[in-house]
Amino acid sequence: MDFKKTILWAVFSLSGLMLYNNWQVHEGKPSMFGGPSNVATTSNTTNTAKVDTPAAISGSPASQVPGAKPAAIENAQQYVLENDLISLEVSGAGANVVQAKLLKELTADQKPVEIFRHTPTHTYVARSGLVAMGNADLPNHTSMFKLDKSGKDGSGRPFLVLSSERGGVKLEKTFILNPGSYDIYVGHRVTRLAANGAPLILYTEIIRDGSEEAKIGPFGGAFSASTFTGPAIYTDGDKFKKIPFADIEKNKFTPPAQILAGQPGWVAMVQHYFASAWIPDDKFSRDIYSGKIDSGLYRVGIQSQLGAVATGATITANAQLFVGPQEERMLERIAPGFELLKDYGYLTILAKPIFWLLEHIHNIAGNWGWSIILLTILIKLVFFPLSAASYKSMARMKEVQPRLMAMKEQFKGDPQKLNQAMMEMYRKEKINPLGGCLPVVIQIPVFISLYWVLLSSVEMRGAPWILWVKDLSVPDPYYILPVIMAISMFVQTKLNPTPPDPVQAKVMLYMPIVFSIMFFFFPAGLVLYWVTNNLLSIAQQWQINKLFGKKVAK
């Protein structure tokens, strides 16, 4: 019984710890478990930060390429590309993508979610340009670009062509938007106008400050900022890797090995529900880099080794720019490993099949709330044999409760003999005193996996269930589900045998209160799962208790 007491105290302590941690995150303080808080590194970034053209990477260290003073975005011509899903704004200053609005993803005030944005207080843009060993002054994200062509191509796709000449090199950037897609084709056409043997390098990078201003959670709420925000990279060798802003601050980022031609590789900037990424052409060898540009301003990029270009010759390097939601099925079609942008935490191996099953149920039910309920029933059926055995064990415990109380009175003051007598009785009656804990212990990984599924799935964002539950990804606005869960846990406690130890009895009595308070901060979809699970458990346990009651009566 001491072991059971230890388990109960451990569960109670863990619940309190999780409650305190969730409150810390809600108040904007760092998570105790290393996750990002609501307030990341503060940023005092200005629109005209210091010159930040990336250093060329080509087998040996290179100094910072000086370039010219960056062109002011505010005074440059802005060009708009738009399809049915996304609206982009490309600046003539650097031909950088400085604004991206997701037209189908709305905020609480029914405005399109903005991913890229460049304001006096927030910087999040995608840019590209040329560098070379030897500090050549080439067209890059600081150059002024002029519009060559715009309109729609033969397939009806909107496009822009902008160009800039500098240092004897001409760079043409072509932006093309496909209908019904968050992918932007970005072509880089490089022409050598004057003799210069320096090998050319194309960089494509994303810069973002470390603030949470543009982090789009599920219409707000305590858990709107609980997932990872920051750079991420993918290579064939290292696979998927997240780079916390704190690691960049401390120079802890180690670049992966050079990506050879033909091998996949991309860089991204991740936030809750959404991401942006550069996926360059794999016909060149590439190098990934990340670093700090200015106070609170960070970047992640990838350099493609174009090599030496003869005078009068032209070379083209294509890239794919993604700006959109982390919809798993869509991400799978874009690039190798791209679906890993959707962060399921450490239990991805369980979370992915759970989402797969939930998605298939939703295709039939048509409502995410009812899909969660049906998924809970299926999970309950899978665990039914184990749960039934555990409930039978608890029913047997309730049956021998009078004998336990008598033993406690008999061996009062001698806990060692009491434990020996109880263990002997359990052995003779074939009762497992820990049997009632097994369903909870086994379901914890499933519970955590489902938590990450509901927290990370943009598919749940704004998804209603019934009546007052308008969004399953945020906490219940009226706390009805947490209250129902507390009541169901209290009923479950009453159906279980009362522990002979007063401390254990008090822990079991307070457990529903602790869990209900903790669940006030959880997404409504997760609480719905737990409420459904509790109600099914009550029905199963009540039926087993009833059968044992008849058996005892006979």
The pLDDT of residue 518 = 75
Q: Express each pLDDT in 319-351 by its tens digit.
A: 999 999 999 999 999 999 999 998 887 788 888
User: DSSP letters of 33-102?
Assistant: TS---SS-S-----TT-S--PPPP-SSS--PPP---PPPPSTTS-EEEEE-SSEEEEEETBTT-EEEEEE
What architecture (CATH level 2) is domain 35-46+58-343?
Distorted Sandwich (2.70)
Other beta carbons within 10 angstroms of residue 516's beta carbon come to 21
Q: What are phi and psi of 458, to 5 degrees?
A: -65, -20
Q: What are phi and psi of 166, to 5 degrees?
A: -165, 135
Q: What is the pTM of this model?
A: 0.77
The pLDDT of residue 62 = 34
Partners of 403 in the β-ladder: none
More confident residue, 221 or 454: 454
Residue 433: pLDDT band (50, 70, 90) is low
Please check the confidence at residue 207 and state whether its pLDDT lies above 90: yes
Both tokens of residue 36?
């990002």
Other beta carbons within 10 angstroms of residue 118's beta carbon come to 20
Closest Cα partner for 183 from 328, 337, 319?
A: 319
The pLDDT of residue 32 = 44
- Identify the three-state secondary structure at position 28: coil
Q: Express each pLDDT in 438-484 by its tens digit.
A: 666 777 788 788 778 888 888 888 888 888 888 888 888 888 888 88
- Distances in Å between the Cα of 517 and the Cα atoms of 16, 224, 523 are 10, 18, 13
Other beta carbons within 10 angstroms of residue 347's beta carbon come to 18
Both tokens of residue 29?
């303080």
Question: Which range is least confidently modeled, 244-258, 468-482, 512-526?
Answer: 512-526
Q: What angle do CA 272, 278, 280 make, to 5 degrees?
A: 155
Please check the confidence at residue 225 and state whether its pLDDT lies above 60: no
Q: What torsion do the CA atoms of 146, 151, 157, 158 make, to the nearest 10 degrees?
A: 50
Residue corresponding to tokens 């039910």:
365
What residue ranges do the domains of the chain occupy?
2-25+351-553, 35-46+58-343
Residue 429: pLDDT band (50, 70, 90) is low
The pLDDT of residue 184 = 95
User: Mean pLDDT in the chain?
Assistant: 78
Greatest CA separation for the chain: 103
